[in-house]
Amino acid sequence: MEKISAGDTAWVLASAALVMLMTPGLGFFYGGLVRRKNVLSTVMHSFFILCLISVQWVLWGYSLAFGPDWKGLGIIGDLSWIGLNGVGTKPNPDYSATIPHQAYMVFQLMFAVITPALISGAFAERKRFKAFVLFSLLWATFVYDPLAHWVWGHGGWLNKLGALDFAGGTVVHISSGVSALVAAWVLGKRITHKTGEEVEPHDIPMVVLGCALLWFGWFGFNAGSALAANGLAVSAFVNTNTAAAMAALTWLTISWAHKGVPSVVGATAGAVAGLVAITPAAGYVTPGASILIGLIVSLVCYGAVMLRDKMNVDDALDVWAVHGVGGTVGALATGLFATVAINAGAANGFFYGNPAQLKVQAIAVSAAWIFSGAMTFVILKVVNVIVPLRVTEREEAMGLDLSQHSEIAYSPS
């Protein structure tokens, strides 16, 4: 067994803290995009999930996702690590030989936290808080934990197949984005679609602040996924920043050409799309490829936003278009641009003489779409039997801050 590395441990713990900050950052990002009567409820979705999943992960989530494979099927971990039983300060070489097992666990915890929080943007401004709580707990247990096991768990079937997902394009972004689309469809449109009320972001500086916090935290998300303070972490860090910047520039340009103005909200949406797309690829591609990934993802995601406009689905904050589609672009781009020159432990992609990798990536993407979409539908139907998913029309008109939390964001006095 290798000795614990102080440098690796310090970097992974710092990265866990960076990723933790992304969830309240997401709350600001989403909170600024909704109307002022719903800002608290939107911020609360992210903050509450941080607390809820932190406990769920320690009690059973980590064991299901990363525990010893149940019956060798590659589907889910068993419950032998329940309550972190056996997950101590010694390294687990199956995941990382140079950091304490608990450091790996807490780093992964932050990914489990932000993923269901991402979905909340789809049902913003109309979901009942109690239904949101139950949905989040069930979704984390029956969608995120198995999917994380498939891709990252020791013995997971997509892991054994050779699917590349450096930091969660499939596990985090496709799963949340597709689930968001299903959730928006099941919940139905906001009443503003009937009344014709204009829905505009209530606080754009708050959106920019949220985006900046996400971008900052994403360095931990991607570079931390190297699980060591080494060259691979640096490569992922550089790719993350480059793709985000290029995607922001591209989105800004498309929206400028399309709508005649360089939109601030558009620039932030582009940056997030770039961060999403580089997530699965960050530790496998060159900086040049990260520029192309940033370019491609904004073109595709902008098209997805326009497509969503034409669909009969009210995905309030475009979670599907940015995370679902962006994650898909990133996962497939990994199959195109991956090179062992960057990561000797991985595989080459299509452009480096290995077309089979693109096929593996497509299988992983398809599996994530089908599994997360179907499971989310079932979970929402079950939750709706126990607690109505939507608030009443009166509560929705009043705003969720007052109707669900009896608080208002901005006091008039």
341 is a contact residue toward other proteins (CB under 8 A): no
Number of shown-chain residues binding other proteins (CB under 8 A): 17
Instruction: Give the residue with the Cβ less far from other proteins, 121 or 326.
Output: 326
358 near other proteins, judged by CB under 8 A: no
- CA-to-CA distance for 138 and 398, rounded, in angstroms? 28
Rounded to whole angstroms, the Cα distance separating 355 from 363 reads 13
3-state secondary structure (DSSP) of residue 127: strand
Nearest to other proteins of 42, 290 (CB atom) = 290
Q: Is 107 helix (H, G, I), strand (E, B) or coil?
A: helix
Q: C-alpha angle 268/269/275, rounded to 5°?
A: 90
Rounded alpha-carbon distances, angstroms, from residue 70 to 193, 304, 313: 47, 38, 38
Stretch binding other proteins (CB under 8 A), from 24-32, 45-53, 252-260, 318-326: 252-260
> For residues 23 and 125, what is the distance between their CA atoms, to the nearest angstrom?
18
CB-wise, 138 or 291, nearer to other proteins?
291
Choose, by CB under 8 A, the member of 253, 268, 348, 357 that binds other proteins: 253
CB of 288 to other proteins, least distance (A): 3
Answer yes or no whether residue 244 interacts with other proteins by CB under 8 A: no
Is residue 342 within the footprint of other proteins (CB under 8 A)?
no
DSSP 8-state secondary structure symbol assigned to residue 57: I
Measured in degrees and rounded to the nearest 5, phi and psi for residue 69 equal -60, 130
Rounded to the nearest whole angstrom, what is the least distance from the CB of residue 265 to other proteins in the complex? 14
Which residues fall within 8 angstroms of residue 100, CB to CB, at 6 or more apart? 4, 9, 88, 89, 90, 91
- Residue number, 278 or 291, with CB nearest to other proteins: 291
Q: Tell me: does residue 357 bind other proteins (CB under 8 A).
A: no
Q: Is the CB of residue 286 less than 8 Å from the CB of residue 277?
A: no
Residue pair 216/21 in contact (Cβ under 8 Å)? The answer is: yes
**Residue 295 interacts with other proteins (CB under 8 A): yes or no:** yes
22 binds other proteins (CB under 8 A): no
Instruction: Identify which of 53, 20, 42, 28 has the alpha carbon closest to the alpha carbon of residue 272.
Output: 28
Using CB under 8 A, which of 47, 129, 256, 377 touches other proteins?
256
Does 286 sit near other proteins (CB under 8 A)?
Answer: yes
Binding test (CB under 8 A) with other proteins, winner from 7, 288, 355, 388: 288
Is 243 an interacting residue with respect to other proteins (CB under 8 A)? no
Contact predicate 221/23, CB 8 Å: no
Record the tokens describing residue 22, joined without a space: 């992304």
Task: Choose the binding region for other proteins from 5-13, 197-205, 253-261, 354-362 (rule: CB under 8 A).
Answer: 253-261
* Minimal distance, residue 290 CB to other proteins, in Å: 9
DSSP state of 391: P
What is the smallest separation between the CB atom of 246 and other proteins, expressed in angstroms?
A: 7
* Min dist. Cβ of residue 289 to other proteins (A): 5
Point out which residues bind other proteins (CB under 8 A). Answer: 246, 249-250, 253, 256-257, 260-262, 286, 288-289, 291-292, 295, 337, 351
